[in-house]
Structure 1
Amino acid sequence: MIKERHTLKLIRKYGTEGTNGTITFNGEHICHTIELPDRNNIRRISCIPIGQYKLEKIRYPRHGEQIGIPNVLNREGILIHAANNAEKELLGCIAPVTTLTGEGRGDYSGKALAKLKALVYSLWDMGDEVYLSIR
């Protein structure tokens, strides 16, 4: 069986207080995202660099199963998880949000994460590979 490759696109806008973005799949809006500002990929205080990343299921004792972004240069433990304020709740991860409310801030993150997880997991359940393309 040939694995299909699916690519989610994350288009970003950089600000001094945070990085905001929008994830689309096949041209359809999935959710917005918040991240830390771009601080040259410094661990725990910067968003991750632009690029193409393969998403993988990662299981954590404390947080259960999450969408992970392994293979980020010089980084580890990067996840896509719920948060509404990048500076207070993120250490380099990406948080989906329903609405953007400011630089690195949004709301209804749990709802946006559920929508994103439903999509990604349905593709994984078909045995396919899912990538995140950040521009």
Structure 2
Amino acid sequence: MVLVLNRSYFPEGTQGVLEWNDTLVCYTIELPWLENQSRISCIPEGKYVLQKRFSPKFKWHIHLQNVPGRDFILIHPANDARKELLGCIAPVTIQTGIGKGSGSRIALEKLKAFVYKALANNEEVKIKIQSNPSTPLRMTR
């Protein structure tokens, strides 16, 4: 299974549309692109393996494996990228502004249903992160 995250970059944050088989799963918010700097930038475009992860803070969520130069990049709930993310990806039900959204916990549950079901069937699950092909690339640097 390969989920596709199409991103649009802005100086204030990164907006995304996450799809599986050309069907919308949820929207995403992230920090702006700042050359993959730890804790202040979104991660590089590429393909990453997803795994289930549990922590006391986020409960069950999703972990992206082998992100270059980064550790513990997660998909977890957040509604404001600048205030709640340190390089991770937050699923949201709607985007309310650049790097902002709402309904993050609902969106994460929907995403986990797809991912966890595939993992339970011993499928490898990946996320392919790329620039949105229908909008011009607007990166901060």
Question: Which residue pairs with 1:103 in the alignment?
Answer: 98
Q: 2:39 aligns with which of 38, 41, 44?
A: 44
Deviation at 1:61, TM superposition (A): 4.1
For these two proteins, the number of residue pairs brought into alignment is 130
- State the alpha-carbon separation in 1 of the partners of residues 5 and 30 from structure 2: 12
Question: Which residue pairs with 1:119 in the alignment?
Answer: 114
Question: Which residue pairs with 1:26 in the alignment?
Answer: 21
Question: Which residue pairs with 2:70 in the alignment?
Answer: 75
Q: Which amino acid aligns with 2:9?
A: Y
- State the alpha-carbon separation in 1 of the partners of residues 102 and 60 from structure 2: 22
Deviation at 1:55, TM superposition (A): 0.4
- State the alpha-carbon separation in 2 of the partners of residues 89 and 16 from structure 1: 17
- State the alpha-carbon separation in 2 of the partners of residues 39 and 18 from structure 1: 10
- State the alpha-carbon separation in 2 of the partners of residues 32 and 63 from structure 1: 19
Deviation at 1:64, TM superposition (A): 3.0
**Greater mean alpha carbon deviation, residues 56-65 or residues 66-75:** 56-65
- State the alpha-carbon separation in 1 of the partners of residues 85 and 7 from structure 2: 17
Deviation at 1:70, TM superposition (A): 1.7
Q: 2:30 aligns with which of 16, 29, 35?
A: 35
5+ residue gaps, structure 1, are 1-5
Alpha-carbon spacing, 1:62–1:100, altered in 2? closer, same or farther (3 Å) = closer
5+ residue gaps, structure 2, are 131-141
Q: 1:129 is paired with a residue of what secondary structure? A: coil
With the length of structure 1 as denominator, give the TM-score of the two structures. Answer: 0.93
Q: Does structure 1 conserve the Cα–Cα contact (< 8 Å) formed by 2:58 and 2:77?
A: no
Q: Percent identity?
A: 50
Q: In the alignment, does 2:106 pair up with 1:88? A: no
1:7-26 residue pairs with structure 2 within 5 A?
A: 7-26=2-21
Deviation at 1:59, TM superposition (A): 2.7
Q: Deviations over 1:77-105 (max 9, x none)?
A: 11000000000000000000000111100
